[in-house]
Amino acid sequence: MTLLTVENLEAGYETGQVLFGVDLVVEESELVSLLGRNGAGKTTTLRSVAGAAEPTVLGGEITFGSEQLAGVAPYSIAQRGLSFVPEARRCFPRLTVRENIRLAINHASDPKDLETVLDFFPELSEMREKQARNMSGGEQQMLAIARALAANPQLMLLDEPFEGLAPYIVRRIEDIIAEINDQQGIAVLLVEQNVAAAVAVADRHYILDEGRIVESVSTTQLRENEEMRQRYLGV
Amino acid sequence: MSSTLDARTRMQRLLSERSPAALLGALAGVLLLGNAAVQKPGLFIDQAIGGLVYGMILVMISLGLALVLGLMGVVNFAHGALFMLGGYFTYATMASYGLPFWAALLIAPIGVGIVGIVIEVVVLRRLYGKEPIIGLLATFGLTLMIEEAARFVWGASAVQPAKPEFLTGGTDLIVTQVGTYRLFTVAVSTISVAGVYYLITKTDFGLSVRAGVQDGEMTEFVGVNLPLRFTAMFFLGSAIAGLGGALRVVEFGIDPGAAEEFVLLAFVVVVIGGVGSIFGSVLAGLLVGWAQFLVPVVLSALAIVTGVSAINVQGISDIIPFLVMIVVLLIRPRGLFGEEGLLE
């Protein structure tokens, strides 16, 4: 069944329009990546779906389950089962690991309990009273994902979860994302510049260029088509 | 649990970081206070309690100002007008409607809280995320409107309801007598400030507010209805300021000028305490209250000891809050707890 449908989405900021008709679909329990160069509109797409105040959605439709998301407040979108992990992790710096997760649990309609979440992240379990600002980038990324997982969402939006992380942590985060998808059946829409990491975890890929989806390919197709990778992703 | 520990360790750090010069200054302060206490014990205790009463009133006004600034990023100049309204609502409840003091103590804060909600929904909600100066100008305009409305309804001169009989007596402290009402003020304000502190640091509601102060947008992404919390915090801040006004009007009366006089002092307190820190505002409020009441006593005691009567500067108490602010900002530019606010 289709979980998320984005149709002809146009969006932009005060400085100008960024998206010129984005179409994409995420099926239930699917792991899809959205690839593209810097400035292609990846983050803008995710933020539009999450209901952020900026960018402004100028046209098109966003359907989650059977509901329209355009004009719905971000907290209300989150409560409907859509968890957003924005770029730069955005853990609450002066809240502890426990408080960061607790907050998500308190405000989700069908949350997991704290211990279930921490069992999933043994690293975090050992530092539950540590403030997020005192944690490493990799630990913060885990916390950001743990916080999203705590809400027990149907769909998780991940914006560049591998950015700025050491290779071995990238692999750990890849495993976590794959597990969340396989074992918990949570659909994931992953935005990445790191094509290798995206190929490692996602089943299907959209390529975004200048505010439009230009390709929709399987992992095999993406691997084999070097010309396509060169043209849109520069790799 | 963790946050009380935090407060304690922060306190220790604050003390341990002091330089020898600062410790010398503190020693001099203790000696001056000791001299004043020996020279004029009655006056000293009297002023110490006066400073505590005054300081707690300042804390009550500053809390709301600090919360609104921390959470919504709006400098609410109208906060002093809300304090003033608390006084007038109390006067109206008691003098015009003949209701007892207890009722006024309940009705005035709730009434002021409702005015606060109206202000938040009608005016402030449009200003979030805009330049701070716009919020300052808009709330300054609101202050003038509320002031003029009060002048129109209650007149330009001060009004004061009759003190309830059971609070009129004094409590004997050997060297001096303290009005029972003053002790009552300290008790009520302490309970309400402690209540706010508990709400912010220990409850799930407080957790969502603290998260909102740190990263409002992300707070919404995890499912928190932030606009509702803005309104709730504005109600709370207004109600506490209103309660402060209610406590003050019975002893000192209130006039329209109180709106600007007290918002200025509350700003001083918030700046001294450090923006975004509840703990800092509480400490700074008490500091300002005590400084204002005790410095004149200290100076006059010093004048007696040294025989130099010029030390006993008259009318110095009005500029003391600002002197304290200057000194604190010279030593700690972000205020006492500006870097590690409890709210942040």
Per-residue pLDDT band at B179 (split at 50, 70, 90): confident
> DSSP letters along A52-96, please?
-SSSEEEEEEEEETTEE-TT--HHHHHHTTEEEE-TT----TTSB
Pairwise CA distance, residues B144 & B260, whole Å? 9
- Record the tokens describing residue B242, joined without a space: 């209103």
Return mean pLDDT, chain B.
Answer: 87
Chain B contact set for A75 (CB, 8 A): 220-226
Helix (H) or strand (E) holding A2: strand A2-13
pLDDT at B17: 65
Q: Which residues contact B191 (CB under 8 A, 6 or more apart)?
A: none
Chain A contact set for B222 (CB, 8 A): 75, 78, 83, 103-104, 107, 147, 151
Q: Is A67 exposed, middle or buried (0-12, 13-18, 19+ CB in 10 A)?
A: exposed
pLDDT exceeding 70 applies to what percent of chain B? Answer: 93
Interval A140-165: pLDDT, tens = 999 999 999 999 999 999 999 998 88
**Chain A: residue nearest B225 by CA?**
A75
pLDDT at B70: 81
**Chain B: residue nearest A53 by CA?**
B217
> DSSP letters along B51-71, please?
HHHHHHHHHHHHHHHHHHHHH
Mutation for testing the B interface, residue in A96, A107, A128 having most B CBs under 10 Å? A107
State the smallest CA–CA distance between residue A150 and chain B in angstroms: 10
**Chain B: residue nearest A146 by CA?**
B222
8 Å CB contact of A90 and B219: no
Pairwise CA distance, residues A97 & B332, whole Å? 30
| Residue B40 confidence (pLDDT) above 90 | no
Q: Which residues contact B127 (CB under 8 A, 6 or more apart)?
A: B74, B134, B135, B138
Interval B122-177: pLDDT, tens = 998 888 878 888 989 999 999 999 999 999 999 989 999 888 888 888 877 777 77
Pairwise CA distance, residues A29 & A197, whole Å? 19
Pairwise CA distance, residues B170 & B179, whole Å? 4
Domain ranges of chain A: 2-89+154-232
pLDDT at B15: 64
Pairwise CA distance, residues B344 & B341, whole Å? 5
CB neighbourhood size of B211 (10 A):
26
**Chain B: residue nearest A84 by CA?**
B221
8 Å CB contact of B222 and A147: yes
**Chain B: residue nearest A99 by CA?**
B207
- Record the tokens describing residue A132, joined without a space: 């997020």
Q: What crossing angle do the helices spanning B79-91 and B41-72 adopt, rounded to 10°?
A: 120
Topology of domain A2-89+154-232, CATH:
Rossmann fold (3.40.50)
Pairwise CA distance, residues A165 & A223, whole Å? 23
State the smallest CA–CA distance between residue A84 and chain B in angstroms: 6
8 Å CB contact of A106 and B219: no
Pairwise CA distance, residues B30 & B50, whole Å? 19
Q: What is the CA radius of gyration of chain A?
A: 17
> DSSP letters along A92-133, please?
-TTSBHHHHHHHHHHT-SSPPPHHHHHHH-HHHHTTTTSBGG
Q: Which residues of chain A have pLDDT under 50?
A: none
pLDDT at B7: 65
**Residue in B129, B222, B227 nearest the CB of A103:** B222
Per-residue pLDDT band at B344 (split at 50, 70, 90): very low
Per-residue pLDDT band at B26 (split at 50, 70, 90): confident
pLDDT at B341: 41
pLDDT at B185: 92
Chain A contact set for B2 (CB, 8 A): 96, 129
Question: What is the value of pTM for the model shown?
Answer: 0.84
State the smallest CA–CA distance between residue A152 and chain B in angstroms: 11
Let me know the angle formed at the C-alpha of A108 by A102 and A110, rounded to the nearest 5 degrees: 110
8 Å CB contact of A102 and B2: no
The ipTM assigned to this model is 0.93
Pairwise CA distance, residues A6 & B138, whole Å? 40
Bridge pairing between strands A2-13 and A82-85:
unpaired
Mutation for testing the B interface, residue in A90, A110, A114, A145 having most B CBs under 10 Å? A90
8 Å CB contact of A103 and B224: yes
8 Å CB contact of A107 and B222: yes
Chain B contact set for A103 (CB, 8 A): 207-208, 211, 219, 222, 224
- Record the tokens describing residue A199, joined without a space: 């190929």
| Residue B340 confidence (pLDDT) above 60 | no
CA-based nearest residue to A198, from A182, A226, A178: A178
**Chain B: residue nearest A96 by CA?**
B2
State the smallest CA–CA distance between residue B56 and chain A in angstroms: 28
Interface of chain B toward chain A, CB-CB under 8 angstroms:
2, 129, 204, 207-208, 210-211, 214-215, 217-227, 344
- Record the tokens describing residue A164, joined without a space: 């700025």
8 Å CB contact of A106 and B226: no
**Residue in A73, A104, A129 nearest the CB of B222:** A104
